[in-house]
């Protein structure tokens, strides 16, 4: 699918995986609408071709307004990349007692419900665009995690939320097939994003040492590159792709 002169929505688009993807799409000629929380949008570096839109992915009205902004650009909305997410940790039973139920709800709300909210609203907008060859109208790329398959101790909420994203992939692709909209999920391993900014060099080295090959952390640009490849490959649909250097996470 052609990227140039189309509109794209990227959630979590102010930094990390989303920021790298927004820049990569803009470099390919897309008009990118990068959704993120207001404080993240305020800190984002200006990028030609990228418009930052304050929006909470769990808020139906805010996302609907952001989608309308993209549609009103005059370019066909063909691409959505869902990168917004949170990763708080906690054991089911810890020193402070049972896992906080509201924390579990929040992680699932952002990572799973937020992903679905953006999926449903952007797919609705894509369904009204002029079809391309083979009736194709667009593609939605979601972000899971290898924690969906190899959840570690303390990752019960995160693993459950990302497992949900994996689980909806094929069903969503089948649901949207009649509209010419593909759905593909990327499950990253340990990527060097701002979420790791506070860890020590020793801890970072230990993380890298556990990756079979290449023995390093992943780069956000590699995620962005894979996202562009998915957009380019029209026959790729309903699949979950691990981007992890063959890493399989240990229990802890």
Lookup result for tokens 């940790």 = 89
Q: Which helix (H) or strand (E) holds 100?
A: none
Q: Which of 52, 158, 223, 235 is catalytic?
A: 158
- Could you tell me the CA-to-CA distances from 105 to 13, 18, 58, 109, 237 in Å, in that order? 23, 23, 12, 6, 29
Q: Could you give the CA distance from residue 208 to residue 226 in angstroms, rounded to a whole number? A: 20
Radius of gyration of the chain (CA): 18
**Active-site residue, 158 included:** yes
State whether residue 68 is helix, strand or coil: helix
E-state strands within the chain:
7-11, 31-36, 50-54, 77-82, 93-94, 97-98, 138-143, 181-188, 240-243
Q: Could you give the CA distance from residue 127 to residue 134 in angstroms, rounded to a whole number? A: 14
State whether residue 89 is helix, strand or coil: coil
- Which residues does 41 contact at the CB level (< 8 Å), separation at least 6? 14, 34, 52, 53, 54
Which residue, 187, 200, 204, is CA-closest to 146? 187
Name the residues annotated as catalytic: 158
């Amino acid at each position: 699918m052609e990227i140039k002169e189309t509109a794209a929505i990227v959630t979590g688009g102010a930094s990390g995986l989303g920021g790298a993807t927004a820049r990569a799409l803009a470099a390919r000629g897309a008009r990118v609408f990068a959704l993120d929380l207001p404080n993240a949008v305020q800190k984002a570096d200006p990028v030609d071709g990228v418009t930052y839109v304050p929006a909470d992915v769990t808020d139906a009205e805010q996302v609907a307004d952001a989608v309308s902004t993209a549609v009103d650009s005059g370019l066909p909305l063909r691409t959505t990349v869902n990168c917004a997410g949170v990763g708080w940790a906690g054991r089911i039973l810890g020193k402070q007692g049972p896992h906080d139920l509201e924390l579990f709800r929040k992680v699932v709300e952002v990572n799973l419900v937020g992903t679905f909210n953006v999926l449903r609203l952007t797919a609705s907008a894509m369904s009204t665009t002029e079809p391309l060859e083979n009736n194709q109208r667009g593609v939605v790329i979601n972000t899971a995690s290898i924690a969906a398959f190899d959840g570690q101790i303390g990752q019960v909420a995160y693993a459950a939320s990302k497992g949900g994203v994996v689980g909806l992939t094929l069903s969503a692709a089948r649901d949207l097939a009649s509209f010419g909209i593909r759905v593909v999920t990327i499950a990253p391993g340990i990527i060097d994003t701002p979420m790791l900014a506070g860890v020590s060099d020793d801890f970072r080295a230990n993380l890298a040492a556990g990756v079979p090959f290449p023995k390093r952390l992943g780069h956000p640009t590699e995620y962005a590159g894979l996202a562009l490849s998915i957009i380019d490959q029209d026959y790729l649909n309903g699949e979950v792709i691990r981007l992890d250097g063959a890493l399989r996470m240990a229990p802890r």
